[in-house]
A and B are shown apart, each in its own frame.
Chain A
Amino acid sequence: MEKYNFGLDEEMIKELSEEFAPRNFVKTLKLSQPHTIEDARASLEEYGRELARRSIEKGEKRIDRVYHVMKKAMEKTGEMKFPFILQRYLEIAYLSIQPFRRLRIVANSSKIISYRLNECSLYKAIEEEYGKEAANKMVCKSACFALIEEILSHFDFDIKPSLEASMADDRKCQFKIER
């Protein structure tokens, strides 16, 4: 049998991680000035959306064997677009900007996809640049919500994601997307 590559295209992850480096992006937020918080929120949303768009754009071109087999399975069964297409792009996006090597998936069934971030480079960059108080306002969640919502709408899912735990209160973020 052919020696397939089941992993994500490494070049793709590298390109995305350069384009969306959290530290560089966070510097542009100017969060120390209170009146800029709305602007900051808007640019975080734009960052999340753009990360989703670019992940999908690149990911649809660079098809690893897992995605190939997954697509065949979806064709055959008519199922699994939920959760796996969403999961694929969430993983590509997060693995590009986060320090961890695997996204902690809490559930990925036919009805629910949920994941947890035990550490977050975006939150950390805001904390380092603007202090703990600024970080704990969780303005960064706008980026994650925009990322999820953009992926959902790209693949024609009308679902509202929710945040079940946050870095500020629980020292971890947990998102849930339930049909």
Chain B
Amino acid sequence: MAGSKSRMPVAKTYKIYIGGKFPRTESGRYFTIDGGDGSVIANICRGSRKDFRNAVVAARKAFPGWSGTSAYLRGQILYRIAEMLEGRAEQFVAELVLQGVSKRRARKEVDVSIDRLIYYAGWSDKYQQIFSAVNPVSSPHFNFSMLEPTGVVSVLAPDDSGLLGFVSNIAPVIVGGNTTVVLASEQRPLCAVSFAEVLHASDVPAGVVNVLTGYREELTGQFASHMDVNAVVYCDAEADDAADIQVRAADNLKRVVDRVGTDWSSENAQNPYRIKDTQEIKTTWHPIGS
């Protein structure tokens, strides 16, 4: 293919994304995405549990800053991600096609992904108003309940939807001020890695989103059991053993968010309750008096 052209195209090295940097997996391992005809599309980092631990450290470090960012700014940053993705739409379409998605469906997946980001960008300064409450307690106190991000959220992105499934899961998590470590689709990991580059160019602070690629079977347990992760999100009934995830999550009473059965292209895949799923409710009391 290259031989017929005057210059050699430069192939991309797909790496993982931790703390705003693109390292290779510390394990030095890889797996191959092939084009179905025996050709190699890319060697993908086969991330390790150590990579995951490093990513959690980066996510924890980023949490105070990101959760303290104003809702307006978080909204603008999500909007910025959408802008960047729009500008690179052709690249993502091409990557999806490389991974076996039809051109027409790939185009739609990219379009919906961009719109999904816009959707959640718009929620950034509104979900709080929908879900908060001032509580009319009987005693002379001012009492209110509002949402705060749960903390570090691990996300096992769906395997069948390399871009849209990825975007649909991280957007509600980060718009709410959480930081996250995401395991990309195992069969279609290219878009997740390229999306990390989009995030990197979108004023998303380092460590807010960390992206690993690798074998689901090897990493799921750690995503569910890590003691400094506050919530785990999973999407595939088959790839992710729900019972096993919940058992492991119990070690530190992690919140377990079940997204199994979601049609990512549907309007039902987006709503503010998905933001609320990785939020805590904090109630504050103060006396009313002299």
Chain A bound to chain B: no
Residues of A in contact with B (beta carbons under 8 Å apart): none
